[in-house]
Structure 1
Amino acid sequence: MQVTLINPHTLIQPSDPLTTGICYFPVTLAYLAASLREQGHLVHVIDAFGEASTTVRRWRNWWMQGLPLETLLGRLAQDGGDAEAPIFIYAGNLVSHEATIQILKAVSQRFSRRPRIVVENTQAVTAYALKKALPDFFSAGADYVLTGECEQRGPRLLSALSSKEELKTLDGVYWRENGAVHGADPAGFIQDLDSLAFPAWDLFPLAGYWRLHYAHGPVTAKRWLPLLTSRGCPYPCRFCVVPETNRMKWRARSAKNVASEMAFWGERLGIREFHIEDLNPTVDEERVRQLSQEIESAGLKLTWKIVAGTKLDILKEPDTLHRMARAGCRYISMSPESGSPEILKRMGKPFRYDAAIELTRQMHREGIRSQACFVVGYPEESDADRALTRRYIRRLAQAGLDEVALFICTPVPGSSIFGSEQGYQSLSELSFSPVWRKTYRLLSRYRRGTYLRFLLWKLLYHPVKLLAQPFHFLSRRFQTKMEMTPYRALSVMFWRWMHP
């Protein structure tokens, strides 16, 4: 069967191009493409972002990055083949929800005979639980919404399209019939992740990503790829969507399988830099040590970076970071979330403050760049709580922390706090700069002030690191996201100026 997979545009909040508009490779979609191809389906990919990554234009209240809609529809028409070939549309990023809805509406009007399937992203904190947005998708013309892991459910859904009775036996699939929504929650997870085919990156316009010279993680090489070495997270953080989409289940690929993928893309595409996008890759410290050993034993000359905010304080063995650095690890993002123990308790987030300080010192000694991520504005957070966060950031800066990221809390659909705040008109407004929040100005001032203080502390405690940042910026060999983010924002503003 012929199928088409669509990765939507990226939406950018014009008032904050520093925090929004981050470039994410569509990893889940690439896994789905590999699975469908393995089942014998003819897979076409239209990557609305990657195929026109330097095209930015005004669209409603956002800047939209990617292909013009008519060009995308023209590509669909050129696919030819079966006039009833299914279309999978990836709802991978919450802020880009309206872009996904726009594509869905246009496709349903132009290609009404082709089944339209919306696909959930379960492996990112910037995603959302699609069950909470079913009315939006069905109103826009979706025939099915596929939730949970898609590699096995996607092929099963294709087999069931011609049989309503078979459709009723599937889990993780929702559809609308006679005005009523039917379906069931996902029932289980893929346990043997090593059995999955590597993502089908050969079907995607990778050059469109590489020409940007920026990504979610700091880019040093000319070519790079993301990796998912594990899935899920065992922690119940109430501000996060992951407990809903992964049920606090964590599963991992073997170290050998991960190293094999690194070697595969190194040989096939010349990739020497990998960005690990796992929700929490360090849950099993022994596996991290094994991965380091596998990379060294295989003689792989590469760098790898943990870019999505792992729970680093889990690590207890004194030589783990040394082994990681020796195997090419050059960057680790961790997520303390708050310097206030009371706020962490309310969040449901365990964290060992002192352990993270010592690990930051170790990363500094080993030459591993470090980031600490914090959520500010959590419900009932006080000025005193935020003062504790700022105090802890200073301790981290003294220990050698390279950068800090502060995200203003937003009620992500699927998180425990979804519904705790009102005032937004669209799910796309649920960014980490939620200007609609009544306390946004207060929190934004706190964020700016904390960033400024962090830079001053960095200058005080580790001046060489701070003074090196302009050189990394100018050479586009970014060691941290703080060096890369201004470049990304300036690039986007320039492309927006080029496409009035």
Structure 2
Amino acid sequence: MSVLLVDPPCGSRVWEPHSEHLGLGYLAAELRQEGHEVEIMDAGLLRWSVRKTCREILKRKPAILGISVVQPAIKNTLFIVKLLREQGLKSHICVGGHFPTLKTEVLLEKCSLIDSVVYGEGDITFPLLVKKVLGKDNWKDIKGIGYREGESIRINPPQPLVENLDDLPFPARDTLPIVLRWGRNAMAITSKGCYGRCIFCGPRAFYQ
């Protein structure tokens, strides 16, 4: 398998997902449009344990493992990465999402087993990373990523935002049948960012 996109279990009832991870759905759709084999593994939605999640990842042996991380899932994410490496997984492991965006340097300091961090929106950055990693090209010059180089941490300049949202494909909705089977609602994203600058809200910091 080329790319496996994972939403890890949070271990928190407050943050248990009840619908699809549309962020991963958008990335999957973009990558499939470019001809890549992609699977979405929503371990949070499926209520999988950390060890069950690891077993399923190891079965697939992806070339690239992308993990979307929110703050309540960071402990589980780091444990998953540790277990996978101990089991010999050689995949390029990339993490992204709100927590990695706000704490890129901290995350790289805490976990040397992660290959790269995509900060900010991944619509441009992650497909570029996939293309270069699979093509065995130098990926360390891509805007919008952070990585370790020896004992040093490198954080590249930010990636420009997508100017025309109509350029993005509709998201892959692989996990929608699970959501509907449980009687939950389908979700939609109709905009990106926010016109407000509220100091207490995540999007303000995410887009700075």
| Residues 1:29 and 2:24 are matched in the alignment | yes
5+ unaligned residues in a row in structure 1: which ranges? 52-65, 121-126, 215-223, 248-500
TM-score by length of 2: 0.86
Task: Choose which of 87, 90, 98 in structure 1 pairs with 2:68.
Answer: 90
5+ unaligned residues in a row in structure 2: which ranges? none
Deviations 1:435-493 (A, max 9, x none): xxxxxxxxxxxxxxxxxxxxxxxxxxxxxxxxxxxxxxxxxxxxxxxxxxxxxxxxxxx
Cα distance between partner residues in 2 of 1:110 and 1:44: 21
Cα distance between partner residues in 2 of 1:225 and 1:39: 26
- TM superposition shift of 1:201: 0.8
| Residues 1:41 and 2:54 are matched in the alignment | no
2:117 partner SS: strand
Aligned to 1:228: 189
- TM superposition shift of 1:10: 2.9
| Residues 1:240 and 2:198 are matched in the alignment | no
Task: Choose which of 113, 123, 126 in structure 2 pairs with 1:154.
Answer: 126
Q: What fraction of aligned residue pairs are identical, expressed as a percent? A: 24
Tell whether the 8 Å contact from 2:102 to 2:206 is kept in structure 1 after alignment: no
| Residues 1:79 and 2:60 are matched in the alignment | yes
1:159 partner SS: helix
Tell whether the 8 Å contact from 1:6 to 1:48 is kept in structure 2 after alignment: yes
Deviations 1:194-251 (A, max 9, x none): 111111113x3x343334445xxxxxxxxx321111100122211122122224xxxx
Structure 1 runs of 4+ aligned residues shifted over 4 Å read none
- TM superposition shift of 1:182: 0.9
Query: In structure 2, what residue type is equivalent to 1:103?
Result: I
Query: In structure 2, what residue type is equivalent to 1:167?
Result: K
Task: Choose which of 137, 140, 153 in structure 2 pairs with 1:163.
Answer: 137
| Residues 1:70 and 2:65 are matched in the alignment | no
Aligned to 2:103: 132
- TM superposition shift of 1:106: 1.9
Cα distance between partner residues in 2 of 1:185 and 1:24: 33
Cα distance between partner residues in 2 of 1:149 and 1:47: 19
* Structure with bigger RCO (C-alpha 8 Å, 6+ apart): 2
Structure of larger gyration radius: 1
Say which structure is richer in helix: 1
2:26 partner SS: helix
| Residues 1:108 and 2:85 are matched in the alignment | yes
Cα distance between partner residues in 2 of 1:240 and 1:144: 26
Aligned to 2:168: 196
Tell whether the 8 Å contact from 1:129 to 1:244 is kept in structure 2 after alignment: no
1:67 partner SS: coil
How many pairs are equivalent? 205
Q: In the superposition, relative to structure 1, how do residues 187 and 207 fare at CA in structure 2: closer, same or farther (>3 Å)?
A: closer
Aligned to 2:3: 3
Superposed, 1:186-335 pairs within 5 Å as 186-202=158-174, 204=175, 206-214=176-184, 224-247=185-208
Tell whether the 8 Å contact from 1:89 to 1:104 is kept in structure 2 after alignment: no
- TM superposition shift of 1:153: 1.0
Root-mean-square deviation over aligned CA pairs: 2.3
Tell whether the 8 Å contact from 2:16 to 2:44 is kept in structure 1 after alignment: no
